[in-house]
Every structure is written in C-alpha cells, then in structure tokens.
Amino acid sequence: MIIEENYNIQAYNTFGIAVQAAEWAVVETTEDLIEATQTTLPLLILGGGSNILFTQNFAGRVLLNRIAGKSIVEEDKDSVLIKVGAGENWHELVLWTIAQGWCGIENLSLIPGTVGAAPIQNIGAYGVELKDVFERLEAVEIETGEFKIFEKEDCDFGYRDSVFKREWKSKLYITQVYLRLSKLPKFNTSYGAIQDIIVAQGGEKITAQAISDAVVAIRTKKLPNPTEIGNGGSFFKNPIVHKMAFELLEMQYPKMPHYIVDDQRIKIPAGWLIQEAGWKGYRNGDAGVHKNQALVLVNYGKASGAEIWTLATTIQDSVYKKFGIELELEINVF
C-alpha cells in the first residue's frame, strides 16, 4: 500500500470540489486497513464520495475504501444471504442481484456510493430502505484495531440514520456487509411513478428488472448526473413533523405534499419546502440549486465548498422563516 502526500481529491467527491488531503491511501484488504490506520492524523474514509461536501482541505489521511468481493453465505429455497465488500459500487451490486434472480434492493437502483456507506445512511428510496434487507456488518474499530460485528438490532436504523452517524461516527471502518435477499417476488411499486412507467414501457409483468429500469428512468430525469454537474444527491433530509404542527401548516398551504409516518408524525418533502421558499433553479456564480429538483445543491463548475455551504445555510434560514421547519443535513460537511 502506498501513502501519498498533498493528494488532490477533486475526482473523488461528486461535488467536484478542488481540495487536497494531507495524506491519501487506497485500502483494498484488511491488512491495508490495519497499516493505513497507524497514524496520529485525523482519518476520513471515502467510498464513492457522493454524500460529502468539502469546505476546505482535509488536514489528515483519507482512506479510499476499495475492499471488493461478493459471495453467497447461505441459501435456501426462499432466500439468500450474501456477503459484499464495503468498497463495491452500490448500483453495480443491485444489477448483479437482479441478474441472479434475487429481489429486495431493486428500488434502490442508481443510488450513488459504495456498499459500505449504505448502512451508515440507511439508504432508502421508493418505499424501500436498506434496513429491510440488512442482516449484519463487519467493521474494524479504528482506534483499537478490534474486529466488530453489528447485527441489525445493534444499528438502531432510522430515517437516513444509524449508530454509524452518531456514537460510532468516524470510529469504524466497515469492511463487509451482509444482506438477506428474497428469491420470491415481493415487489414494492406503490411509491412514485414506478408502476405507471412499467406500464408505459410496455411491461406486462412486474419484475425486479422492470422496477430497477423504472427507478433509473425516474432518477435520471429528476437528478443531475454528477459526472456532468457536481452534486452530492439530496442535501437535506425530508423533515418529519408532529401531526398537530402539520395540520397548522396545511391550513396555510393546502397543497403541501406529505406522507404519513405513523399516527403522530408526518413527513414533508424538503424539496417542496425549498421550492416554495423560492430557491429552485437559483444560481449564484457556480453554486446553485438544481432546476428540476430543489433538494439537490449543485456545483456548475468552479464553486468552492464554502460557497455551496453558505447557500445551504441560507436555504435553511429561509425555509425556517417561512414554515418554521428546520432542515437537517443528509450530507456530511467537512
């Protein structure tokens, strides 16, 4: 393993922010990991670099997770448990599982990033979350080098949340993720326009591949390709408010879209709030809000991370003043 100094990581963050890491190393094995963590410098683990905004150079060692591998751990007539290296590309994993005839993560197609980042964020889309198929993960505690296993109940999964974003944040290096997938059709087409697109494309039968194709079509239409316009995907979480607070808001904004979480909580699309606050399509220099999806902040070319962060905090203030709702970050800011 080679450790490089003053390494330009612009190509390794999907915002395309031109910053440097004091040190840089690519981790492909557990042995690499043990070696790479032997430093007094701050450590940062990068997967796909799709959920991060750099506002300055990183004065530490960045580890690029490239631990690969996909294998079957156990299998029966109804399901299969797979073990996946944390450095594997998430979307490529989805396509691989579909090709094997397994279902469970087809709704999560085209989500950027690596497999190791998926449980940290509890990624989700179109009615499915990682926790629905997650069984356990393996990780190494960075400070001690101790090997750890986290079962599903240990992860405290929530909406785009887990223990890995809270008490274990920046303390673990995830190496392997175990997912339980079904061999039986258990499809979710109730969210978005998935079923409509399948029908429009001439699909007579709902399959995992058809759902994946529909999700890819929806995401491609709504979200900018980071290879064309720098972005980190959804910048903010969709806020969840108490039912009473929502009812007061609904009196002012009868067309406010919403989703029932439970008897007492309502989820409101953050993109709608940002759009109604007047930010959709906004641009100041090369920092802006995407014209088709207000939830996505973009770098049109040479924006700095600090400029995008200033825009983000200004949007937060604007939405709070208009709706009394505090937007929480979905993205990690350094």
- Residues marked active site are found at 160, 234, 330
Cα separation of 140 and 29, whole Å? 12
Q: How many C-alpha atoms does 166 have within 13 Å on its Cβ side?
A: 10
Torsion of CA 116, 117, 121, 124, to 10 degrees: -80
Q: CB–CB of 258/239 below 8 Å?
A: no
Cα separation of 48 and 88, whole Å? 9
Q: Which residue has the tokens 């631990």?
A: 67
Closest CA to 4 of 33, 36, 51: 36
Task: Measure the N-to-C terminal CA separation of the chain; round to a whole number of Å.
Answer: 26
Burial 15-51 (b: 16+ CB within 10 A, else e): bbbbbbbebbbbbeeeebbeebbeeeeebbbbbbbbb
Cα separation of 306 and 153, whole Å? 37
